[in-house]
Homo-oligomer: A and B are copies of this chain.
C-alpha cells in the first residue's frame, strides 16, 4: 500500500481510536506526516510477510506526555536525528521503520521519518494500541532487547542507553525526557527482520486505516460513524468492538506527573445509562472503566471515548466538561493476552488489584448476538445528527 496524504488522514482517525485515549493528538501527528509526504513523496506500507530476515528495523516514536505535545510542537527533524544516531551507533543502515504503537501521534512518526529517508514502514507494531511505558511492547514480552536505544530533542541533544533490562530503559529515558521538556524522539528495540516477524502485532496500521476509512465513509453517507467504527473491527485480529456507555463528561482530573498525563474522567450516563456513572482512569492511555464499583473494561483491552456525532476519538488531553461521548471497548489481539504479556501490562502492573477479564467474556451476550444490542443500537442511531 502506498501511503499518501489521504491514507494518513484515515490513519489518523483510526489510530486515535486504537490509541485508547492516549498516543498523542491525531491532528498534530497527521499534519507532521502529511507535510513530510507532500515534501518527499508517499511511503510504502509493507506487510510483515515482505520483511526479509536481514532487514534492519528501527521502531521510531515520540516519548512523553501527550498533554505536552499540544503545547510544544516538534521541530520535525528530531526523529531523523535519533535514527541517524542509532545507525552510527550500530554501524548499519536502517532498511525498514516500524511504529512502536498505534496512536494519533506514534502511528504517524514512522511516516514522518520514512518519507524523509525514502524508507518503507511496516504494517504492524509492538502492541496494536498505545501504552505509556517502553517495556510495554510485544518486542519486550517476546525477548527483544530494548537497547541500544536513543532519544533526541529539538535542540539536537542525544542520549544513548545501554541497559541490562527494558524497565531500566524506561526509567532512564523517562527521566531524561522530562528534562528535555516533556517529550523526546525515540528509537528503541532495533532489530532484524526476523525478530520483527516473530514479535510484532500484525496488520495494525492497515487496520487503523480501515477504521478511519469506515468512519469517513459513514460521515459522507450520513450513517452512524460510531456504528461504522465498531463494524470495521469485525473479522480483524481484534475482537468486535462493543459500545460500553453513553454519557456526558462531568469531571476531569488530569495532571502531568513524572512525565505522564495521569488522571481520571467521570461520565454521567444518559438515555439507557441514565442514573449511572462511569469513571475512567488513565496514565496517558485509558486503563480501567468502571460503572459504579463494577469494572466493565480493563487494560490491555482498548477503551476509547468517541464523539457520537463524528466517530472521532477524543484523546484525554482534549477531554472537557460537558462533552457527550460514547465509550467503546475493543478486545485486544490474542498476542496481547498471553500470561507473559499480562505480566507486563495487565491491570496489576498499573496498581489495580484485579485480574484481567476479557471484554468478550464480560459481554458474552453481546457476542452471542455478534452485533450491537438493540437498545444500544437505538441510542447510537439517535446520536447521529445527519448534519455532517
A171 on interface, CB distance cutoff 8 Å:
yes
Q: Is the CB of A159 within 8 A of B161?
A: yes
Q: Which of A155, A163, A175, A178 gathers the greatest number of chain B CB atoms within 10 Å?
A: A175
With contact pairs A175-B178, A176-B172 given, residues A164 and B159 touching in the complex (Cβ less than 8 Å): no
Q: Which residues of B contact A175 (CB under 8 A)?
A: 175-176, 178-179
With contact pairs A172-B176, A175-B179, A179-B172 given, residues A160 and B160 touching in the complex (Cβ less than 8 Å): yes
Main secondary structure of the interface of A (DSSP, over half): mixed
Q: Which of B156, B157, B176 contacts A176 (CB 8 A)?
A: B176
Q: Is the CB of B160 within 8 A of A159?
A: yes
Q: Which residues of B contact A162 (CB under 8 A)?
A: 85, 157-160
Tell me, rounded to whole Å, the shortest Cβ–Cβ distance linking A84 to chain B: 12
Write out, one digit per residue, whether chain A residues 32-55 have a CB within 8 A of any chain B CB (1) or not (0). Answer: 000000000000000000000000
Q: Which residues of B contact A376 (CB under 8 A)?
A: none
Write out, one digit per residue, whether chain A residues 148-185 have a CB within 8 A of any chain B CB (1) or not (0). Answer: 00000001111111111000100110011011100000
* Given A157-B164, A168-B179, A175-B178; 5 other pairs, CB 8 A cutoff: A157-B161, A159-B161, A159-B176, A172-B179, A175-B176
10 cross-chain pairs, A with B, having the tightest CB-CB distances, nearest first = A175-B175, A160-B160, A158-B162, A171-B179, A157-B163, A172-B176, A175-B179, A156-B164, A155-B164, A157-B168
